[in-house]
Structure 1
Amino acid sequence: MPVQNRSLEYALLGCLALLWGSSYMWISLALETIPPATLIAIRVALACAVLLAIMAFRGIRMPLDKRSWWQFFVQSLVNSTGPWLLLAWGQQYAGTAVSSVLNSTSPLWVFALSYLLLKSGQRPGRLQFTGAMAGFCGIVLIVGVGALEDIGQNLLPQLAVLFSAVLYGFAALRGRVFSGLPPIVSAIGTLLCSCLVLIPMSLIADRPWQLEPDLTALGAAAILGIACTALAFLIYFRLLRTLGPMGTASQAYLRSGIGVFLGVVFLSETLDLETFAGICLAIFGVVLINWPKNNKSQVTPAVGKEVS
């Protein structure tokens, strides 16, 4: 899909980073009275309900063939169910700082996996690699260089967080197989398949009918489902068609900066020089990753070789 208005796509990229960057705050509020498995199930189920209502209003229908639903199911494993469960478990033991660094590596994984899975004309170039490295260095500065000292101490949880980033990278590349579908169809198909796994898991693990969540937790869960999942997935699948996998994955570099911004505005935290430099470097990396290419064929994500 040719990029007609790059300013709009970049604004949507920032919006996606805001939605997913703020999700950590809402998750922390909801987890006070709602267990992780149940929270994720509520998040996905609510997002599905909202998107299905929108789809019904617009008169859009889901595909019914087996191949499409198999593609949706695989995408749900690498785009939502797998990464969310790995993060929920790994971050408890790996630590927030290390998890932030490891989880922000998804653009690097997009770059690496593209050389294994895509044709030469569809791979990102040197400018995108430079941007990916600059963005990653910016994340290290934002989180704090000292966080790297903890890498390797809780190896298994850290590997779980890192693998979630690998799955996000693969999901961004694989999302190209849905380029012929409206973003809302891709989002609903993926989230419905996630529900098939997450809701039974919640019923078995948490017995949610026995829970007594407070209003704050319920409100946070509602925001997670409606804004950070339903709206975010619509934007995500649109950006895969316009900015491509590498450009869409670059929002990982903006999330940490947004987290710092929210902390300064709402939690009265301070912004030191190292963190500010990291935010600037992360933004610079995103700019390089999304810099318009001269090769027109690289601007429009090709569908030629599917990643299944």
Structure 2
Amino acid sequence: MSMQAPRAISERTTLSLEFGLLVLLSLIWGSSFTLIKVALATVPPFTMVAGRVTIAAMLLICIAIGQGHSLPRQRSVWAALLVQGLLQSTLPFTLISWGETQIPSGLAGVLNATPPLFVLLIALMTGRGRRTINGQKIIGVAAGLAGVILTIGIDARAGAGAAPLAQLAVLGASLCYALAPIWGQRFSSLPAIVTAAGAMSCAAILMLPMAAIVERPWTLAPTAQAIAAVIALAVICTALAMVIYFRLIRTLGPLATTSGSYLRAGFAVMLGTTLLGERLTWSILAGMTLVLTGVVAVALPSPKPRP
């Protein structure tokens, strides 16, 4: 027994660290909804996303080189990174940004909390990871979704009939977020910073021509506040978040990592309450309780059957 105690303590410490990183990632991404709204006031969606991923890509490349890493040279790896950049950044960032021009951020938060449901459905339909899905995880996904609906509140759901295309766009982003960690598992042999730098570079290559053709960013006159929001989105919500994200894919797995989308929506509401003076209601408190319960149920390892 005494020989197993240190190992058990080490495992608990490691799990606590990964849960802490999951909460931090959720807080970072939860703040992105507010920053996107601020940036969209004077910066259109494609230009905002192009600036976000380009700044993040340059920062991640510098960090990777500074740590002594080199970017991959194989074409097959870059082809896979291109898909990763498309699923993790280019498509979802653009879909959410465009969606938020037409629907409230609260409703966007509800719709963008669905990646764990998509991961679960994909696993059940394809058989990938089906053995790891049990009643505990299904209940966790259901509890988390119920918590998000309570957390965002009745006001957001009241707008559910408006702008159906914008809602579908945000749901499409959620599907991308569900597919991205599944695809990203193939990069387990690469350092997280290299994967993040490569995927973000591909996202920048995809977005820069699109922004230039569609929105002609050199003709814009963004405010200082909008520029600051884009920089914060790039440095904190993208570059830093990607490093944490690819680590969690390896340590917690796709379903547990995407479960952070529930916390992300909850943090968006909490930030609005504390920073914008929004009213804290019983539905928010009850919803956050369900959110935390769902995330823990999804992320915790399933109990092993007794022999």
- Does the TM-score normalized on the shorter chain lie above 0.5? yes
What CA distance in whole angstroms lies between the structure 2 residues aligned with 1:275 and 1:164? Answer: 24
The answer to whether 1:113 aligns with 2:152 is no
Match of 1:245 among 239, 251, 254: 254
Q: CA deviation at 1:217?
A: 1.7
CA contact 2:106–2:152 (8 Å) conserved in 1: yes
Q: Is the 8 A contact 1:100 1:143 kept in 2?
A: yes
Shift of 1:43: 0.6
For structure 2, the 5+ residue unaligned runs are 1-10
The equivalent of 1:257 in structure 2 is 266
Structure 1 partner of 2:135: 126
Instruction: Give 1:53 shift.
Output: 0.9
Give, in angstroms, the shift of residue 124 of structure 1: 2.4
Please name the residue that 1:35 is paired with. Answer: 44
Report the Cα offset of residue 153 of structure 1: 4.6
Corresponding residue number in structure 2 for 1:60: 69
- How many Å apart are 1:118 and its aligned residue? 4.1
Letter matched to residue 302 of structure 2: K
Query: What is the distance in 2 between the residues matched to 1:61 and 1:4?
Result: 31
CA contact (8 A) 1:114 1:123 kept: no
> Would the aligned equivalents of 1:114 and 1:173 in 2 still touch at CA under 8 Å?
no
**TM-score under structure 1 normalisation?**
0.90
Distance 1:99 1:173 in 2: 23
Letter in 1 for 2:93: W
Who is 1:163 aligned against? 172
CA distance in 2, matches of 1:75, 1:56: 21
- 8 A Cα contact 1:30 1:220, kept in partner: yes
Which residue does the alignment assign to 2:60?
Answer: 51
Among 23, 30, 36, the residue aligned to 1:14:
23
Q: C-alpha distance in 2, partners of 1:84/1:118?
A: 28
Shift of 1:204: 1.2
Residue 81 of structure 1, aligned match among 76, 90, 105: 90
Given residue 267 of structure 1, which amino acid in structure 2 is its aligned partner?
L
AA at the equivalent of 2:124: Y
Residues in 2 aligned to 1:193 and 1:29: alpha-carbon distance in whole angstroms: 26
Give the AA of the match of 2:114: T
- Match 1:191 to one of 183, 186, 200: 200
Contact 2:28 2:236 in 1 (8 A): yes
> Cα 1:189–1:260, aligned 2, differ >3 Å: closer, same or farther?
same
Identity across matched positions, percent: 39
Query: Residues 49-74 of structure 1: CA distance to partner in whole angstroms, max 9, x if unpaired?
Result: 11111111111011111110111111
Alignment check: 8 A CA contact 1:75 1:190 kept = yes
Distance (whole Å) between structure 2 residues aligned to residue 100 and residue 165 of structure 1: 10
Judge conservation of contact 2:37–2:100 (CA < 8 Å) in 1. Answer: no
Q: Distance in 2 between matches of 1:200 and 1:273?
A: 47
* Matched residue, 2:220: 211
Do 1:30 and 1:218's aligned partners in 2 also have CA atoms closer than 8 Å? yes
Give the conservation status (yes or no) of the 8 Å contact 2:145–2:291. yes
Question: Which residue identity is paired with 2:269?
Answer: V
User: Structure 1 223/150 Cα, relative in aligned 2: closer, same or farther at 3 Å?
Assistant: closer
Which of 287, 290, 300 matches 2:296? 287
2:277 to 257, 268, 285: 268
Moved more, 55-64 or 203-212: 203-212
Counterpart in the other structure of 2:101:
92
**2: CA distance, partners of 1:64 / 1:180:** 14
Q: Distance in 2 between matches of 1:129 and 1:60?
A: 39
Aligned partner of 1:235 in structure 2 is 244
Q: Taking structure 1 as reference, are residues 236 and 3 closer, same or farther at Cα in structure 2, changes over 3 Å only? A: farther
